[in-house]
Amino acid sequence: MTFQGQVLLPSQEALIQRLHHVASYSDQLLVLVGAQGSGKTTLLTALATDVDDSNTALVICPMHADNAEIRRKILVQLMSSPIFDDEIPLAETILRVAPNQSKPLHIIIDDAHLLSKELWAECIILNQVLCAGQRIALTLSVPPAFLADLLPQLPESLRRQILPMSVEPISLPEREALYQTLLRYSDQNPFTPRDIVRAQLEKQNGTPQEVVTLLELALHGQSERKSVWAHYKVAVLGLCSLLITFLIWFGLAQPFSDEPSAEALTYPALDSDEFLAHGQQILTPYFQQRAESLAQALLAQAAIQADPLVAFHGEAPQAEDMNEEQLLTEREMKAESEDALAQAASTQEPIVNSPQAQSTSAAERAAKSKDLNTQVKPMQGFTIQLASVAQLKSLRSTLAQIEGVQDISIAKYKRRWVILVGHYESSKLAHEAAAQLAKQYRIDSPWVRKWSELKGYELQDALPSGEISE
């Protein structure tokens, strides 16, 4: 049997008859299983040509084809109308046109292992759809490895719906007949003894592709294999040429001459007198500026000893996004650094200092300590810190701004004056009072603090007039 220039063996004709019978009377999805070169494409093409009593669609699935392309190839062969949507499933489209079909449908897909799992599911559903009084027949070809991987993924009900049919190897007489038939069609007569051909055919696995390959070998001979040197000859020659060119250029660019080379520069050792003298010359301006800065610091310290409040010129900035612990730690570290600076300056010999100045400052500090007597600080509850200033002038100005606020307390923390308002049992009450003060007196961010956190704060007695004497 021949079709479209193809030759079919008796075993292949018998298999086509079986495929046609199963497709006509079975309700299962027919899967033709065979290795590469076993003739699956030839068998499916012959099956599509041999079927006359049904409307057949033959699709050879290409690689990397999307679902819409496969649906479009199937539907254009089954439907006379070109109006359809290739984005919807096949079953939905065919159910719409099934009443207009006079013949049963038979869909044949070669290389079905390249289909997506979605199209496989559509084919299984489509196999159960009736058209012209019969189920839609589907025949797909796959390699054995794909079917072995697909079946375990399906449930038992769908697994019984698939009917695999294997392509058996052709027998030795059929191999010889196929070889001689193809040789006669080639119109050539190579001198190859029949015994040698038979021995080669016996070594094969029984696929038609092996017979065709053996015939091509007999007709055209074995192609010469190109050596590795032929592949890389151009690259090696190019590399050698580039190396020779570089050597020639290097020799011309730097010719040999008798001129003496430049002497290498030498530097003195790190511990030599010359190097130390050079370093001292460079660092002398720095040490002079440092000495001037130290003298100015000592002068400023002498003024601080005369009046401790001179070193402060306003409120210290408070970061709004810091929490209470960070602000407290920052202020304590600043106060400690100032104390350390004062202690270090007191150990030095003052540049400008006299017994009269020392006695005057001591008298002023004694007068201030008499005017501001310490009070007992509560250990529980909350209070509101309104301001922290360094000068008494700033303290008086702040007290004048909040005139009318009740329960004001003045505390001294190191060299700063702190204004505290109220005593509250809970944080909620303290925050409500702080919000009221900020709204009424336009105070920026009153600080609610625990009494237990005010370590080192000494409460002072305020005068009835609300001022603190110097």
Of 152-161, 258-267, 361-370, the least confident:
361-370
Pinpoint the alpha helices (H) of 254-391: 273-306, 324-347, 355-371
Average pLDDT of span 25-36? 90
Q: Is 125 contained in some domain?
A: yes
Are 147 and 164 contacting, i.e. CB atoms less than 8 angstroms apart? Answer: yes
36, pLDDT greater than 70: yes
357, pLDDT greater than 90: no
Note whether 126 and 201 are same-domain residues: no
Are 167 and 33 contacting, i.e. CB atoms less than 8 angstroms apart? Answer: yes
- The token pair at 359 is 């006695």
Give the integer Cα–Cα distance in Å for 94 and 178. Answer: 41
For residue 386, give the nearest of 299, 432, 445 by alpha carbon: 445
- Residue 92: how many other CB atoms lie within 10 Å: 13
Give the integer Cα–Cα distance in Å for 107 and 82. Answer: 18
Note whether 45 and 187 are same-domain residues: no
Q: Is 274 contained in some domain?
A: no
Instruction: List, for residues 270-295, the tens digit of each pLDDT value.
Output: 677 777 888 888 888 888 888 888 88
- The token pair at 321 is 């996004």
Note whether 162 and 43 are same-domain residues: yes
Q: Is 420 contained in some domain?
A: yes
Helix-, strand-, coil-residue percentages of the chain, each rounded to 5: 55, 15, 35
Q: What total of structural domains would you count in the chain?
A: 3
Average pLDDT of span 445-461? 82
Using the 3D structure, point to which of 186, 201, 220 is the last residue of a domain: 220
Confidence of residue 389 (pLDDT cuts 50, 70, 90): confident
The secondary structure element, H or E, covering residue 21 is helix 10-25
DSSP labels, 163-186: EEEE-PPPPHHHHHHHHHHHHHHT
Note whether 64 and 183 are same-domain residues: no
Give the SS3 label for residue 33: strand
Q: Is 414 contained in some domain?
A: yes
Give the integer Cα–Cα distance in Å for 353 and 363. Answer: 16
Can you give the residue range of the structural domain that contains 99? Answer: 2-166
Question: What's the chain's average pLDDT?
Answer: 77
Q: Is 277 contained in some domain?
A: no
Instruction: List, for residues 157-169, the tens digit of each pLDDT value.
Output: 888 899 999 999 9
List all residues 6 or more positions away from 452 whose beta carbon is below 8 Å from its beta carbon. 379, 380
Residue 110: per-residue pLDDT: 93
Q: Is 287 contained in some domain?
A: no
